[in-house]
Structure formats: structure tokens, C-alpha cells
């Protein structure tokens, strides 16, 4: 009996260790995902801070342009949200109006029903007092009184039905009034935002006019363009280093967790081996042995599920770019890669001329690592696609996503504009491989 109890105790210890293994791994993976996101955002913020600290000139005009174009981006994003909310409220108003129309028909039917009952009773001259004073046979009087009882009950039900419909009518009218007030509030805010957008566009136009002469002088100097490109180079290189450092941290963290997992599995196997030996020595523990075998099978299944989840998470990470990519916008190509720019320097990307407000889509799945205003490039967005590949989208009117978001070709990430001191609307697009610019036309589908 003691040998049987000892074997059962060892089996329970092994089963508990296997169950704890799954729980610990799940908690560790959740904590790792949160930690990786925070570390990446901290590194990107540090890169931008280092670049901002190195900028010491042309602050006044550039800051005014930055503030105005950032405000335009934010207002456009809010107008998109208001448009969606207004549509939802209008749909609800239409539904309430239809319900009110149906309820009015029900009230009219209830009233007609009640009026018909009253007319019938009046035309027949039926009343309890008339029956009692008629002098007729008592049995006949009893039948008439019973009939009057049925009539009164039907009329009471008709009155109650009419009252219920009137109460429902009042509730629907109250809801309609609330939705109309909500719609007016949304429309008022939309008008206010539209006025703010007009003011910001006027302010931006004034800022552009104020610095137009300065921009012409700057474009005449190749060194100014080189400074802008140099700043972008620093940003891209800094981001590339931050991404590499972050991935190295993630790799070490995964190795540490994997080593801990293997150690826990080893201890669990040792405990399971001890349990099996004790169980083999217990001749009278056949039923307990089958239960232990079932529990070990569940632990193996849980370990396999964890392994599958880990493989699926690995497959979900970005895997770089391939040829035949869709264009971020469909437009005329200007400023081809490697050609001389009219204002000095060479093109490191391409400019696609499209109308202002056109929606911009990423060329491949990835994660946004930069989204903000950048001197010389206006509202700028950079996406990391993995394996050293970055794509750059500049001159945007509005940025519709934020740092850390995962996006794909079906997502709208920005709208085309002419920010950063540009004269005509268009999208500036680059592809970087390990920090070096490559010709986008060789990667985009023809």
C-alpha cells in the first residue's frame, strides 16, 4: 500500500510540473512582446531626439511650417472620423423614422378598433342598466350581461393596446430627438473642423509665401540639399541600427527563455521518470498508471501546441521585400533614381505626381518605425519590412497611422500633399536596403 501511494505522489508531481511549464511559457511570451514594443519605441524616440539636438538653424520658418502641416494632418484625420460617425447617426435616424411611421399606423389601427367597438355597442343599445330594467326573462338578462362583459373586456384590451402604442410613440420620438441633437453636434463640430482646416491652409500658404524667397536661395545651393539628404541618411541609419539592436535584444531574450524552457522540461522529464519507476513498482496501481499516462499525453500535446504557436509567431514577422511590388500611388514618375536634380544633387528615390489628397498605400507588409514632420521632407513615414529593407514616403499632406502599427498594401497610411516646402503635390518614395538607397523602379511592378 505504501509503495502504491509513493508512486501516485510522484506521478502527481510530474503532471503539475508539466502544467506549470505551459503557463510559465505563455506568460513569458506575453511579457516579451510588450517589452519588445516599448524598447523599439524608446530607441526610435532616442534617434529622433539625437537628430533634433544637432539642428541649430532655420528654426523659426521650419517650425511654423511644421506646426501648420501637422495641424492639417490631424484635422483631416478628425474629419474622416466625423464623416464615419455622421453616417452611423444618419443610419440610426432613418431607422427611427421608419419605426415611427410604423408605430403611427399601429396607433391609427388601435383607434379604429376602439371606435368600431363603441359604435357597435351604441348602435345595439347595450348597457348593464338597460338589461336590468328591460323586464325580460332573467335568463335572457343573464346572457346579455355576459355578452356585455365580453364587450367591456375587449374594449379594455383595445384601450390598453392604444396606451402601449402611444407610450412606444413617445419613446421613439424621444430617441429621434436625441439622435437629431447628436447629429447636429457632429455637424457643428465638422463645420468647426472644416473652418479650422481652412485657417490652417491659409496659415500654411502665408508661411510658404514668407519663406519662398529663402527656399529659392536654398534650392540654388547644392549644400542645402546635401544637408537635407544627410539628415535623412542619419535618420535611416539610426533607425537601422536601432532595429538591429532591438532584434539582437529579442534574439537573446528568446534564447534565454528557450534555455529556461528546456531546463524546466528536463526537470519535468526527471520527475516523470521517477514517477514511472515508482508506478512500475506498484503492482496494485493499474488504474492510477493509466491516469498518469493520460496526463503525460496531455502535457506532450500542450508542449506541441506551444511549439506550433512559437513557429506561427516567427512566421508573422516581416520577411523583407521581393520584386514586382505594387506602387504606393498611381501617377507620373518624375525625378528618376540616380539622375541629377534641377536644384543640385541626385535623386535617391522617385517622385510620383498625383492630385493632393490621394491615399497612399505601403508596397508590402511591415511595421511603421517613423511617422512625423521632417525638415525638407514634410510629413514623413518610414516602414520596416524586415531583413534590412525600409521604405520612405514623404511630402504627405496627412499621416493616417502611427509608430508601432503593422500595415499592409490594403491599408491607407497617408494622403498625398506638398509639405516640406514643395510647390506641386506628389509623393516622394524611396527603398533602402541595409541603409543604402536602391532604384525603386527595379522593384515596382510595371
Q: How far is CA 76 from CA 32, 397, 418, in A?
A: 36, 9, 15
Cell of 22: 505551459
For 369, phi then psi, to 5°, come to -110, -10
* Three-state DSSP state, 132: helix
Nearest-angstrom CA–CA distance, 43 and 55: 19
| 302 vs 45, more confident | 45
pLDDT tens for each residue of 261-308? 999 999 888 888 887 877 777 677 667 656 644 554 454 344 334 333
pLDDT score, position 432: 97
Q: Using one digit for the tens of pLDDT, what is the confidence trace for 342-395?
A: 777 888 999 999 999 999 999 999 999 999 999 989 999 999 999 999 999 999
Question: 224 to each of 138, 221, 235, 359, how far by Cα in Å?
Answer: 116, 6, 17, 30
pTM listed for this prediction: 0.53
* Per-residue burial over 263-280, b = 16 or more CB atoms within 10 Å of its CB, e = otherwise: ebeeebeebbebbbebbe
HSE-up (13 A, CA, CB side) for residue 225: 15
Give yes or no for residue 8 having a pLDDT over 60: no
Provide the pLDDT for residue 122.
64
How much helix, strand and coil, in percent to the nearest 5, is found in the chain?
Answer: 65, 15, 20
Euclidean distance between CA atoms 168 and 311, whole angstroms = 57
pLDDT tens track for 205-250? 777 676 666 656 655 655 665 676 677 777 778 878 888 888 888 8
Beta bridge partners of 428: 351, 394
Distance, in Å, from the CA atom of 150 to the CA atom of 152, rounded to the nearest integer, reads 6
| Band (311; pLDDT cuts 50, 70, 90) | very low
Question: What domains does the chain contain, in order, with CATH numbers?
Answer: 1-316 (no CATH), 323-442 (2.70.70.10)
pLDDT per residue as tens digits for the range 384-419: 999 999 999 999 999 999 999 999 999 999 999 999
Amino acid at each position: 500500500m505504501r509503495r502504491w501511494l509513493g508512486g501516485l505522489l510522484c506521478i502527481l508531481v510530474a503532471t503539475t510540473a508539466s502544467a506549470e511549464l505551459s503557463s510559465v511559457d505563455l506568460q513569458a511570451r506575453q511579457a516579451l512582446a510588450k517589452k519588445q514594443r516599448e524598447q523599439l519605441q524608446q530607441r526610435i524616440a532616442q534617434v529622433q531626439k539625437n537628430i533634433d539636438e544637432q539642428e541649430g538653424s532655420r528654426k523659426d520658418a521650419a517650425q511654423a511650417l511644421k506646426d501648420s502641416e501637422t495641424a492639417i494632418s490631424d484635422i483631416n484625420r478628425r474629419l474622416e472620423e466625423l464623416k464615419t460617425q455622421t453616417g452611423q447617426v444618419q443610419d440610426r435616424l432613418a431607422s427611427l423614422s421608419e419605426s415611427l411611421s410604423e408605430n403611427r399606423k399601429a396607433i391609427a389601427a388601435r383607434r379604429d378598433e376602439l371606435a368600431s367597438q363603441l359604435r357597435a355597442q351604441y348602435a345595439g343599445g347595450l348597457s348593464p342598466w338597460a338589461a336590468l330594467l328591460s323586464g325580460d326573462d332573467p335568463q335572457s338578462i343573464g346572457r346579455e350581461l355576459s355578452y356585455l362583459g365580453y364587450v367591456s373586456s375587449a374594449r379594455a384590451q383595445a384601450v390598453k393596446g392604444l396606451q402601449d402604442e402611444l407610450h412606444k410613440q413617445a419613446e421613439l420620438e424621444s430617441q429621434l430627438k436625441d439622435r437629431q441633437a447628436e447629429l447636429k453636434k457632429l455637424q457643428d463640430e465638422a463645420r468647426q473642423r472644416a473652418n479650422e482646416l481652412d485657417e490652417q491652409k491659409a496659415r500654411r500658404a502665408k508661411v510658404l509665401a514668407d519663406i519662398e524667397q529663402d527656399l529659392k536661395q536654398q534650392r540654388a545651393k547644392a549644400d542645402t540639399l546635401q544637408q537635407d539628404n544627410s539628415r535623412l541618411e542619419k535618420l535611416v541609419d539610426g533607425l537601422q541600427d536601432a532595429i538591429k539592436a532591438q532584434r539582437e535584444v529579442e534574439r537573446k531574450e528568446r534564447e534565454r527563455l528557450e534555455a529556461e524552457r528546456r531546463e524546466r522540461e528536463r526537470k519535468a522529464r526527471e520527475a516523470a521518470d521517477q514517477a514511472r519507476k515508482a508506478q512500475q513498482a506498484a503492482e496494485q496501481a493499474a488504474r492510477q498508471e493509466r491516469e498518469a499516462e493520460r496526463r503525460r499525453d496531455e502535457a506532450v500535446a500542450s508542449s506541441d501546441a506551444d511549439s506550433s504557436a512559437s513557429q506561427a509567431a516567427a512566421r508573422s514577422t516581416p520577411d523583407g521585400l521581393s520584386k514586382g511590388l505594387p506602387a504606393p500611388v498611381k501617377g507620373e514618375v518624375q525625378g528618376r533614381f540616380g539622375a541629377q536634380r534641377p536644384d543640385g544633387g541626385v535623386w535617391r528615390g522617385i517622385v510620383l505626381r498625383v492630385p493632393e489628397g490621394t491615399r497612399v498605400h505601403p508596397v508590402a507588409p511591415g511595421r511603421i518605425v517613423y511617422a512625423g514632420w521632417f525638415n525638407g521632407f514634410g510629413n514623413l513615414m518610414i516602414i520596416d519590412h524586415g531583413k534590412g529593407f525600409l521604405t520612405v514616403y514623404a511630402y504627405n499632406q496627412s499621416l493616417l497611422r502611427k509608430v508601432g502599427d503593422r500595415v499592409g498594401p490594403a491599408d491607407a497610411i497617408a494622403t498625398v500633399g506638398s509639405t516640406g516646402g514643395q510647390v506641386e503635390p506628389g509623393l516622394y518614395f524611396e527603398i533602402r536596403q541595409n541603409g543604402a538607397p536602391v532604384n525603386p523602379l527595379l522593384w515596382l511592378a510595371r
